[in-house]
Amino acid sequence: MILDLFSRRVVGWKLGESLEAELVVTALRNALVLRQPDEGLYFHSDRGSQYRSEAVRKPLSVIGAIQSMSGVGNCYDNATMEAFFSTLKTECFPDNQVFASRALARREIFEYIEVYYANQRLHSALGYRTPCQYETQFKRVIDSEIDAAQAVDAVMEDRALRGRNSSADAALQTAGVAAYGHNRHKAGPAGASPKRKIPGGSGGQSPPDSFDNIVKKTEHYVSVFSGEVHKAKSVVIR
């Protein structure tokens, strides 16, 4: 059995006929399907030879786990797991502690661990909640904290964006006034026919500026000055 000390949930287990190292490796592999731990995980066990074997040490080193073992002859160093097996034998095993067959043992143990123990059995260490309830509540708390942090970031980003937009609007207004004044100086008083540059005439042909490109071949040219709106006929600026 591999037990998550955080939620008391059995995250990996394997039933076998002997205590070979492969039994532990398979249980570990099953646990890694359910959990993807970061480096620094503590993997605690008793001092059984299978836990000290290279077959078990190698996958633990690959995932960056720190292996921990109980003191010599000290069963209390692995008290949580010893308590779990005591509960398993008391609540799941028959009175004579012997199953009629290995298939029956596997079925009963599976139902006890995956159905009853994970979803129905209450634990005083978890505030009288089941392992799955405890994990779900923890996930909700983490998700709500993440959502709150993201909401704060969104508000700050929105404020910053509004500030940038305000600055951009002011800059565009300033640029628009300057462009209007520049074009008005070139085009003459409001209501007057715009003058054309004659190719080959005095002064030569001046290249069009950005404002000319914007209003080139427009249907109406609208200018705002002294609070009055003047509409001129269609113009072509070259």
> Where in 8-112 does DSSP place strands (E)?
9-12, 42-45, 66-69
Q: What is the mean pLDDT of the chain?
A: 77
Residues 115, 21, single domain; the answer is yes
180 pLDDT exceeds 90?
no
Judged against a pLDDT cut of 60, whether residue 112 lies above it is answered with yes
The better pLDDT of the pair 206, 135 is held by 135
According to the model, what pLDDT value does residue 69 have? 95
Q: Last residue of some domain: 67, 97, 121?
A: 121
Task: Give the model's pLDDT for residue 151.
Answer: 65
**Span 161-174, pLDDT tens digits:** 665 556 666 665 66
- Quick one: 183 and 89 in the same domain? no
Residue 141, pLDDT > 80, answer no
Q: Are the CB atoms for 67 and 47 separated by under 8 Å?
A: no
pLDDT higher than 50, residue 111: yes
Model pTM? 0.58
Q: Which of 9, 27, 11 is closest to 120 using CA atoms?
A: 9
**CB contact at 8 A, 195 and 188:** yes
Choose between 143 and 70: higher pLDDT: 70
How would residue 79 be classed by pLDDT, with cut points 50, 70 and 90?
very high
Please tell me the distance from the alpha carbon of residue 11 to that of residue 113, in angstroms, as a whole number: 10
Q: Are residues 78 and 170 in the same domain?
A: no
Q: What per-residue confidence (pLDDT) applies to 169?
A: 63
Maximum distance among all Cα pairs of the chain, rounded to whole angstroms: 118
> Mean per-residue pLDDT for 153-167?
62
Beta bridge partners of 2: 12
Tell me: do 31 and 107 sit in the same domain: yes
Res. 189: pLDDT tops 50: no
In a domain, 67, yes or no: yes
**Same domain for 174 and 108:** no
Residue 76 domain-assigned? Answer: yes
Q: How many domains does the chain have?
A: 2
Domain that holds residue 65: 2-121
Q: Can you tell me the distance from the alpha carbon of 223 to that of 180, in angstroms, rounded to the nearest whole number?
A: 7
SS3 of residue 107 by DSSP? helix
pLDDT tens per residue, range 8-34: 999 999 999 888 999 999 999 999 999
How far apart, in whole angstroms, are the C-alpha atoms of residue 7 and residue 121?
12
In this structure, are 25 and 114 located in the same domain? yes
Same domain membership, residue 83 and residue 36? yes
In a domain, 149, yes or no: no
Confidence of residue 56 (pLDDT cuts 50, 70, 90): very high
> Quick one: three-class SS letters along 6-24?
CCCEEEECCCCCCCCHHHH
The token pair at 12 is 């990996």
The CA-based dihedral angle spanning residues 161, 166, 170, 175, taken in that order and rounded to the nearest 10 degrees: 30
Which pLDDT does position 70 carry in this prediction? Answer: 94
- Residue from 38, 72, 32 nearest 52 by CA: 72
Contacts for 81 with CB less than 8 Å, ≥ 6 apart: 1, 3, 45, 46
Residues 107 and 167 grouped into a single domain: no
Domain boundary among 102, 121, 140: 121
Query: Which residues have a Cβ under 8 Å from the Cβ of 112 and sit 6 or more positions away?
Result: 88, 91, 92
